[in-house]
Amino acid sequence: MNRSALVIVTAVVCLLLAASPLPWCAATPPEPWQQLYTGDDATGPNVIGLWQFRPGQETKDNSGHGHDLTLRGQARCVTEGAFGGALESFRAGTDNDKPQGAIAKDADALSPAGAFTLEAWFMAKPEMEECDSVFLLDKKYINYPRDTPEANCDYCLYLPRSGQNKRLLCASLGFGRDSAFVTGPEIAVVPGRWTHVAFTYDGAGRCRFFANGKLLSKVVLDGRGPITPGRYDLAIGDRYGSTHSGFPGYVAQVRISSGIVPYITGGLNVSAGRGRTAFLRMERNATLAVTLGNETTTPLTGGRARVRLGSTGQRVALEYSFPVKVNTALRPGDYALRVTASATGAGKSIRVDRVIPIRSSHGRCPTRCPW
């Protein structure tokens, strides 16, 4: 981790704030992932494949690498979405086990040798609510444990249903002898609303999931390395084979890149470290470990730290993890420590707000807060 010099101010608040993706509006300059990819973002050396489905080049690989698509079943290209083109795919499953979406023929380049990034925009149709699981991208075919070589290669990105208009963003990675099945965050999938998702894998066990530019989940696969290349075609908007799992909706600007795309990264991450977040009232020498994570691609510099909890204040030397003294004279109850962190990296100011729940108790208390 790049050690960061930050400015941190914390205060007790009585309400936890839930983070949600900010809408893309005209008053906010668009991020690179919110724009039609052109130039190096489309044809640069790190782009493996790019499909934008635009009029006149609907099935072309816009990266120039020749991974052109073949439509399957009812799938068609339409002028839908902010980028002027999308792939419309349809429902498929046990009651309609017919291929949908589109495929690009298997090629060595479509199985990245190290780190890689998968990206796609999508918009669901109302009938997606009837589907247990839908596939955005699939070059793996088998997304469950099976002890055969062909089941344990390459990658897929899929969304099992977790609630009304909610799905889990999941990935499966094949490592030759076996596979990893990575459950990511729950995201809102609302018919008629466009969403951008991205998945990054660093080739050494570290997975990250993004939605609308926000880092939502990190998963570390201990002892893992690069994926093992397979032989299946790449499917977009459906599972590769039977039983099919078509994506009833629209898919736009799909891109596969080698390496981790610089702007598909996180910012500052502030969280409770190992140890307790619940304390006895009037407990002596109570401390809470606060952990800082630099999820950007550059070192972060500048600043100092100041911590306030209730009416008491303290200064701390910033490291990857540092202790914060807890004022256990607070009345028994649940509190939230608000952390505002800022730093400078690559000439830009970065800021993040987080809350860490703590509990003060008269008698026996749990090691961690349950909320």
Decide the pairing of beta strands 278-280 and 348-361.
parallel
Which H or E element spans position 46? none
Q: What H or E segment, with its residue span, contains residue 253?
A: strand 249-258
- Can you tell me the distance from the alpha carbon of 101 to that of 89, in angstroms, rounded to the nearest whole number? 5
Write down the pLDDT at residue 122. 98
Looking at residue 268, what is its pLDDT? 66
Residue 127 phi/psi, 5-degree rounding, is -70, -5
Q: What is the CA radius of gyration of the chain?
A: 23
Residue ranges of the chain with pLDDT lower than 70? 1-28, 264-274, 292-298, 302-322, 336, 339, 346, 351-354, 362-371
Q: Which two tokens stand for residue 216?
A: 């939502």
Q: Which two tokens stand for residue 330?
A: 């607070």
How many C-beta neighbours within 10 Å does residue 111 have?
22
Domain ranges of the chain: 7-21+265-361, 32-258
Cβ neighbour number for residue 148 with a 10 Å cutoff: 7
Nearest to 138 by CA among 121, 151, 124: 151
pLDDT of residue 79: 95
- Beta-bridge mates of residue 195: 122
128: helix, strand or coil: helix
Q: Within a 13 Å sphere around the CA of 60, how many CA atoms are in the beta-carbon half?
A: 11
Kindly tell me the burial class for residue 175, based on how many C-beta atoms sit within 10 Å of its own C-beta (0-12, 13-18, 19 or more). middle
Q: Measured between alpha carbons, how far is 356 from 371 in angstroms, rounded to an integer? A: 10
150-170, pLDDT tens digit by residue? 999 999 999 999 999 999 999
Closest CA to 92 of 71, 70, 74: 74
**Among positive and negative, which fits the CA dihedral 70, 72, 59, 139?**
negative
Residue pair 235/124 in contact by the 8 Å Cβ criterion:
no
φ/ψ of residue 32, rounded to 5 = -55, -40
pLDDT at 255: 98
Q: d(Cα 229, Cα 369) in Å, to the nearest integer?
A: 43
Q: Which CATH code fits 7-21+265-361? A: 2.60.40
Looking at residue 74, its amino acid is Q
| Integer Cα distance of 62 and 66 in angstroms | 8
Q: Which residue has the tokens 């906010």?
A: 28
Q: How far apart are CA 239 and CA 125, in angstroms?
A: 18
Q: Does domain 32-258 have CATH number 2.60.120.200?
A: yes
Fill in the DSSP letter of residue 215: E
Taking alpha carbons only, the member of 91, 4, 63 closest to residue 301 is: 4
Please give the pLDDT value at position 110.
98
pLDDT digits (tens, 9 = 90+) for 292-342: 666 665 677 754 455 555 555 555 444 556 677 777 777 887 776 776 777
**What are the φ and ψ backbone dihedral angles of 128, each rounded to 5 degrees?**
-65, -25
pLDDT for res 263: 72
